[in-house]
Structure formats: C-alpha cells, structure tokens
C-alpha cells in the first residue's frame, strides 16, 4: 500500500460514521448525499427561463461543463479502477450503492463542475453557493461509507480540468448550440407567460 492510499484510507476512517452516531446526523447526511445535487438543475433552469439570452448562454455553458466533467470522469475510471470502501471492505456503510468504481465521484463531478463553470462565468454568488454546497455532499458520501476522500479530491480536479476543455469547445460550438437549443425551447415552451424566456 502506497503512502497516498494509506492517507486516503486513514482519512476515510476518521470521517466515516461509526455505530452509535445520532439518527438525526445520519438522516442529514443521507439528505446531503442524495438531495443537495438537485440545486444544480434548479439553478440551470432558472438561468434558462429567467435570464434571457445571456441566461441561455450561461445555462448551456454550465450544462456542457458538467457533461465534459462526467465524460472525463468516466475516462479516468476506465483507466484506473478504485473500489469503494465497502468493497474492500473498510468502515461502515449506511446507504445502499452498487459495487462499482468510486473514483472520481459522479456527485462530486456534477457539483464541482457546476460551481467552477458558474465562477468562470463571473456568477460569483451562485458559484460560491454551489461550491459551498459541494462540501456537505463530499462529506456525507464519505461519512455514509460510499466514497473515499480521494474520490472527492479527484472529482474536484477533474471538474477543474473540464472548465479548461469546455472553454475550447465553447469557442467552436457554443453560439450554434445556443441558437439550436433556443429554437427547440421556444417551440416547446411558447405557452409560458411573457416573463419567462424560453
């Protein structure tokens, strides 16, 4: 076992919930682990339907960034398989999860890539909000025993790389994507009141 893996496992055991923890803390962790991620689509929908053409551009940039991060994460997972804690087995598991590759965390990828994209777009308040919300997601999935700390650090690193890739892709495809998605959205949601901007 190398030093990095030793530190990773030691950090996991320090953060993982032990038997006897209060039920309310476990319930809070379960909510953070599974529910917090839904703030991302809510923000993207708000940008699209309330933000006008600039909001369309911002929502699509963020969406593309998330997709690129997930694709890069899949590539990383294909090149390097790292088991989840309960597959080793190590620590205690408090939610059910398939026994698949844990590195990098998909939940972490979505949260961090959305936060970094918003910050790149200079939507600092929203970006910092999502970035701060990413922390309890990362904590809870370690606390509940389905991820190692390294899975979350890896997710943040991959999400940062996704922004760099996305900038290049956006220069080539961004304007055309906005026009295409606007045309589809306007046909589908033409019935919305005038204050919305499909």
∠ at Cα 15 (150, 25), nearest 5°?
130
174 contact partners, CB below 8 Å, separation of at least 6: 57, 60, 61, 64
Residues of the chain short of pLDDT 50, as ranges, are: none
The size of the chain, in residues, is: 198
What is the model's pLDDT at position 194? Answer: 86
Note if the pTM is more than 0.75: yes
What is the model's pLDDT at position 1? Answer: 65
Residue 161, both tokens: 């790389």
Q: Cα separation of 166 and 164, whole Å?
A: 5
Whole-number CA gyration radius for the chain:
19
What is the model's pLDDT at position 118? Answer: 98
What is the model's pLDDT at position 76? Answer: 96
Residue 115, both tokens: 């936060």
């Amino acid at each position: 076992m190398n030093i990095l893996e030793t530190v990773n496992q030691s950090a996991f055991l320090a953060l993982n919930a032990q038997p006897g923890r209060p039920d309310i803390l476990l319930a809070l962790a379960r909510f953070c682990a599974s529910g917090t991620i839904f703030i991302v689509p809510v923000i993207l929908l708000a940008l699209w339907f309330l933000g006008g053409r600039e909001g369309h551009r911002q929502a699509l940039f963020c969406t593309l960034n998330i997709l690129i991060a997930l694709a890069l994460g899949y590539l990383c997972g294909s090149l390097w398989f790292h088991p989840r804690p309960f597959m080793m087995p190590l620590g205690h598991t408090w939610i059910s999860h398939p026994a698949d590759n844990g590195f990098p965390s998909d939940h972490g990828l979505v949260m961090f890539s959305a936060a970094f994209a918003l910050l790149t777009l200079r939507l600092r308040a929203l970006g910092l909000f999502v970035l701060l919300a990413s922390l309890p997601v990362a904590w809870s999935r370690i606390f509940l025993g389905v991820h190692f700390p390294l899975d979350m650090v890896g997710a943040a690193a991959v999400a940062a790389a996704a922004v760099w890739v996305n900038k290049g892709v956006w220069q080539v495809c961004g304007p055309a994507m906005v026009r295409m998605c606007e045309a589809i959205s306007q046909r589908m949601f033409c019935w919305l009141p005038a204050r919305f901007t499909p």
